[in-house]
């Protein structure tokens, strides 16, 4: 019986040479020449002003929760179909997470379900571009503008994809990528990046 692997790590063979170069450069804790190159590459690739490398996408989501100043009792709307970090990052700041339905054809958050879930306590909408498929960003950004809400894009699975010519992860107020081993690009185990517009 042939076993079908869940994923194949995108290892290309030059990693060890670069790891050696990073060790020799004495920037083992990060923020060295490779971090700068990587952030510049992400900025060019996505057309965003600032990309910041993170230890993981989970860490990036936690920073987004701090940046939009989530306070205990704030409500955050997110899709019922996602990875646990999408919710936990906001629960950790005391938010009440409101899970709403996804659409059958895209498996992504439904704009009408978002609208129906908004209350005076709603602070943010977190969208997830599941498996790299884009959410309906025009509609979602319109709803957010009407109700003065932040939009955070969990683009963990969406590096390299776009919506109407704009890189996913750069359409909302903040966005995050994952470089976990199961993602399209890996930094070797764990890794992530956060963006602002
Ligand atoms: C939608 C989604 N959000 C967040 C994460 C968390 O990413 P990381 O493992 O880089 O923390 C994942 C990882 O599987 C994910 O699929």
What's the gap in Å between 120 CA and the centre of ligand 1?
29
* Per-residue model confidence (pLDDT) at position 86: 98
Please tell me if the CB atom of residue 58 comes closer than 6 angstroms to any atom of ligand 1: yes
Query: pLDDT of 56-100, one tens digit each?
Result: 999 999 999 999 999 999 999 999 999 999 999 999 999 999 999
Looking at the domain 45-196, which fold is it? 3.40.640
Q: In which residue ranges of the chain is pLDDT below 50?
A: none
CB 182 within 8 A of CB 162: no
The C-alpha atoms of residue 2 and residue 49 are separated, in whole angstroms, by 46
What's the gap in Å between 65 CA and the centre of ligand 1?
15
* Per-residue model confidence (pLDDT) at position 116: 98
* Per-residue model confidence (pLDDT) at position 197: 66
Please tell me if the CB atom of residue 178 comes closer than 6 angstroms to any atom of ligand 1: yes
Which residue ranges make up each domain of the chain?
45-196
**Residue 138 token pair:** 């025009």
């Amino acid at each position: 019986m042939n076993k079908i692997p869940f994923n194949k790590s995108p290892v290309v063979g030059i990693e060890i040479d670069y790891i050696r170069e990073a060790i020799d450069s004495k920037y083992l804790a990060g923020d060295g020449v490779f971090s700068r190159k990587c952030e510049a590459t992400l900025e060019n690739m996505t057309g965003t002003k600032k990309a910041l490398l993170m230890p993981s996408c989970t860490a990036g989501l936690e920073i987004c929760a701090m940046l939009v100043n989530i306070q205990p009792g704030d409500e955050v709307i997110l899709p019922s179909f996602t990875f646990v970090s999408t919710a936990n990052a906001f629960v950790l700041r005391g938010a009440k997470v409101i899970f709403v339905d996804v659409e059958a054809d895209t498996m992504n958050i439904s704009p009408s379900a978002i609208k129906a879930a908004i209350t005076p306590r709603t602070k943010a909408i977190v969208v997830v571009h599941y498996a790299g498929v884009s959410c309906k960003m025009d509609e979602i950004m319109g709803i957010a503008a009407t109700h003065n809400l932040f939009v955070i894009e969990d683009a963990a699975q969406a590096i390299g994809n776009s919506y109407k010519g704009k890189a996913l992860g750069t359409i909302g107020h903040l966005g995050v990528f994952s470089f976990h081993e199961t993602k399209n690009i890996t930094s070797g185990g764990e890794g992530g990046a956060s963006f602002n517009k």
